Amino acid sequence: MNFEDVLVQVFQPYFYYSIIALAISFVCIKIVVTCCPFMGSKAKSLIYLTPIVAPLFVMFSFPPKIVIQAVSYRLIGSFSIPVSQGPMSFSPFHLIQPPLSQTIVTLVALSTSHILSVTGIICLTGLALGGIYAVTTIVMGDWIASRLLHVINLDSNEYEWLQTEIASISKKLSISTPKVALVEDLRPNAFTMGHGRQTKLVFTIGLLNILDKEEILAVASHELAHVKNHDFFFKTLSNALAAVSFFNPLAYFALFNSQREREMLADENGAKLIQKPDSLAKALTKITKALQNLPGEGRLIRVTSNLLITSPIIHRPQILSGHPKINLRLKNINQLTMPKPKRLKPSKLIVAVMLTCIIIVAGVTTTYALVNLQSGYVTPKIALATSAYVKGVSTDSIGTHIILISSNVPFNQMFGQISSLQNQKLQIISPSNPALLNEPSNFNQNQADIPLQTSIVIPGTNQSSQIAIIYALQNENGTTLIIKY
Amino acid sequence: MIEEKKPGFSQYNIEGKALEAFLGPLESNIMEAIWGSKKTPTTVREIHAALNKTKKIAYTTVMSTMDRLFEKDLLDRKIEKGRGGLYYVYWPKLEKRNFQKSAVRQVLASLIGNFGEAVTSCLVEETNMGEEERKALQEQLSKIKRNKK
C-alpha cells in the first residue's frame, strides 16, 4: 500500500469526520467543564458523552463502506500553449475551452478502481463491537461476571444486619432491594452487577474483614446510589459508544472522564444517604491503604470489572481509569458540607466561549485543509518548457490515446521530460510508428500545416467498465486535462 | 508424606461417631471433605460446593468453620492469586490416618496420666490379654509415665 492508498483510506468521510468530530467536541467540552465549576457531577458525566456520541452521528450520516472507489492520479506531463497558435479543436470531446492566452495544459491520468476499505471495516467493526457488547452485557453480563469472579449469593441469614440495612436504604431510594453476594477475594472492594430485579451488591471478603459496620454501610450506600442513578445502563451505553471509536484514543479519555464523574456522583449521593460523609471517606482511605499492600488484580478481573461490573468502589490508580483519584474523591466528599459556587464569573464565561469558538474554527479549518489535501495533494506543479497542443483523445483496443501536436519542439525532447514523470503503464508511441496512432474520425483536419504529431497511449483502458473520460479543470495555474479510466 | 503433628482439640465426645468424637459435626464434615477432595489445596468455595451437594449450608458458616480449624491447627492455609482474585487456600496438616492415630494417642495419654492402673486393667479386660502381654503393656505404661514426669 503506497502513500496515496493510505490517504484514500484515511480520507473516507465516515472515518476522518468521526475522528475530527470527536476531537473537537472533546476539547470544547473539556474547556466548558473546566470553566464551569458550578456544574454538577451528573451534568458533567452526561456532557462528557458528547464526544463519543458524535462519531455515531457521523457514521449514520456517512455510512461506512467495505469497498470504496480509489482514485489515483498520475502526472503525464505539462505543456504550454502559445497564443499565436490560436484556438484549436479538442474534438470529439469539446471539453476544453480554447485557450485565450498562453496556457499551461497539464495532463493527468486519473484512474479509479474498487478497493477494500480498511477504514470502513474498522468503523463497521467498531459499530459491531459496540452493539454486541451492549446486548451481551444487558442480556447476560451479570451471568458472565458471576461465573468469572465466582460470586457466591448470600442466604437471608448470612450478614443479616447488612441485608436489613440494604433493604432499608433501598426502600428509602424507592428501588427494589438488590441481592447481596460475596466474592472470596481478599482485596477489599465492592461492586454492583446486573440490572432491575437481578441487581446484586457484591462485597469481597477482604472488604468485610477490614471495615467496621458503619464503613461497610457507607460502601453499600455508595453502591446503592449507583443503582439509583441507573449506572449499569450508563456504563453499558458509554462503553458501547466508546467501542464504536475504539481506534481513537480520545474516546477512552472522554469515556473515563464521564465514568469518573459518575463515581463522584455516587460518592455524593451515598454519603448523603447515610448522612455520614466521614464513614465513606474513612472506608475509602482504609481500602486504598489495604490495596497498596496487596498485589494487583489479575488481567481477567480488570477486564471484567471494566466491562461487566458497574462501579467497583475503588480501582487502582491508572491514567485510563473509570475512577477518580482517591484524594479527589475525599475532597469531593468533604465539600458536601460546604456551599458550592452558584455563579459563574463573567470573565470565565467569556474565556470559555472564546476558546470554544477558536477550537471549532480551528477544527473546521483543519477539516477543510484536509479535504483540500485529499483532492489536491497531487495537483501537478511542473510545467514543461515545451510547446504542444492536445489535438484529440480517443480510445481503441489498445487504450486511451492522447494526440499531441507540436509546432516547434521535437517530440523526442518533449517526451524525454514527460517520460521522467509518467507512470510505467504509459507507452509513448513515437511518430516513427504512425500505424498505432488512432486519430478521431472527426478530428479537425483544417490544421493540416501542423508539422509534428504524436500520441500518448494509456494501455488497457478500453474495457467497458473503464470508459475513458476526459475533462478539464481551469484555474490560475492553467488547464489540467484529466483522463479518467 | 505429611509428618505427624499434634492436632488441636480439647474435648472428647464419648457419644460422637468417628471424627465427631474429637470435632464438631460441621468440623468433621469439612475435614472429611478436605481429605476426600481430589484437589489440594482447596478453597472455601470448593468445600462449600462439596458440602452443599448433600445438605444446604451457608457459605459464611463454612468460611468461619475453616477459619476455626486453621486456628485449631488442623488446617494450614496460604494466600493464592487466582482468577477470582486473592484468596485463602487450605490443606490438612495431618493425613486422615495420622490425625486419628495422633488423636487417640492424646486421649490415651490423658487417660493414663489421670487414671493409670484403671486404664491398664480396662485394656486387659477389654482385649483378653495373656500374662506376658499384660506385663509388656504394664512396662510400656510405666515408661510413658516416667517420661511424662
**B21-34 pLDDT per residue, tens:** 677 888 888 988 99
* DSSP one-letter string for A426-470: -EEE-TT-GGG----TT--TT-TT--EEEEEEEET--SGGG--EE
**Per-residue model confidence as pLDDT tens digits over A311-351:** 566 655 555 566 677 777 878 777 776 666 556 667 777 77
How crowded is residue A16: how many other Cβ atoms within 10 Å of its Cβ?
Answer: 18
Judge whether A205 is closer than 8 Å to chain B, CB to CB. Answer: yes
Residue A414: pLDDT band with limits 50, 70, 90: very low
Contacts of B59 in chain A (CB under 8 A): 152, 154-155, 158, 182
Q: Which DSSP helix (H) or strand (E) runs through A130? A: helix A118-149
Q: Which of A212-216, A295-299, A409-413, A429-433 has the lowest mean pLDDT?
A: A429-433
**B50 min Cα distance to partner chain A (Å):** 14
- Note whether A187 contacts B86, CB cutoff 8 Å: yes
On whether the CB atoms of residues B44 and B90 are closer than 8 A, the answer is yes
Nearest to B37 by CA among B86, B83, B79, B75: B75
Q: How far apart are alpha carbons A114 and A69 in whole angstroms?
A: 5
Contacts of B87 in chain A (CB under 8 A): 184-186, 205
- Note whether A158 contacts B58, CB cutoff 8 Å: yes
Which of the given ranges, A284-288, A380-384, A421-425, has the highest pLDDT on average? A284-288
Contacts of B48 in chain A (CB under 8 A): 152
Whether residue A273 has pLDDT greater than 80: yes
**B107 min Cα distance to partner chain A (Å):** 36
Which of the given ranges, A52-61, A77-86, A309-318, A385-394, has the highest pLDDT on average? A52-61
Nearest chain B residue to A152 by CA distance is B59
Model pTM score: 0.69
Q: Which of B87, B88, B90 to mutate to test the interface with A (most CBs of A within 10 A)?
A: B87
**A303 min Cα distance to partner chain B (Å):** 11
Cβ contacts from A onto B, under 8 A = 57
Q: Which of A146, A182, A184, A292 to mutate to test the interface with B (most CBs of B within 10 A)?
A: A184
Whether residue A124 has pLDDT greater than 80: yes
Residue percentage of chain B with pLDDT more than 90: 11
Residue, of B45 and A451, whose pLDDT is higher:
B45
Nearest chain A residue to B84 by CA distance is A149
Burial pattern B11-45, b for ≥16 Cβ within 10 A else e, equals eeeeeeeebebbbbebbbbbbbbbeebeeebbbbb
Residue, of A399 and B99, whose pLDDT is higher:
B99
**Per-residue model confidence as pLDDT tens digits over A233-255:** 999 999 999 999 999 889 998 99
Which of the given ranges, A45-59, A289-303, A339-353, has the highest pLDDT on average? A45-59
| Range A184-200 average pLDDT | 87
Side-chain-side CA neighbours of A275 within 13 Å: the count stands at 2
pLDDT of residue A307: 63
Whether residue A208 has pLDDT greater than 50: yes
Residue, of B73 and A455, whose pLDDT is higher:
B73
Q: How far apart are alpha carbons A340 and B122 in whole angstroms?
A: 86
Closest CB from B58, B63, B87 relative to A185: B87
| Range A149-169 average pLDDT | 90
Q: How far apart are alpha carbons B45 and B25 in whole angstroms?
A: 19
Letter for the amino acid at A135?
Answer: V
Q: Which of A210-224, A234-248, A412-426, B53-67 has the lowest mean pLDDT?
A: A412-426
Grid cell digits, residue A383 = 510545467
Letter for the amino acid at A4?
Answer: E
Nearest to A356 by CA among A27, A3, A4: A27
On whether the CB atoms of residues A149 and B84 are closer than 8 A, the answer is yes
Closest CB from B44, B58, B81 relative to A295: B81
Q: What residues 280-299 of chain A have any CB closer than 8 A to a CB of chain B?
A: 294-295, 297-298
Could you give the maximum distance between any two Cα atoms of chain A, in Å?
A: 110
Nearest to A52 by CA among A295, A234, A178, A189: A234
Residue, of A477 and A149, whose pLDDT is higher:
A149
pLDDT of residue A311: 56
Contacts of A296 in chain B (CB under 8 A): none
Closest CB from A149, A154, A155 relative to B84: A149
**Per-residue model confidence as pLDDT tens digits over B110-127:** 777 777 777 777 777 777
Contacts of B80 in chain A (CB under 8 A): none
| Range A370-378 average pLDDT | 53
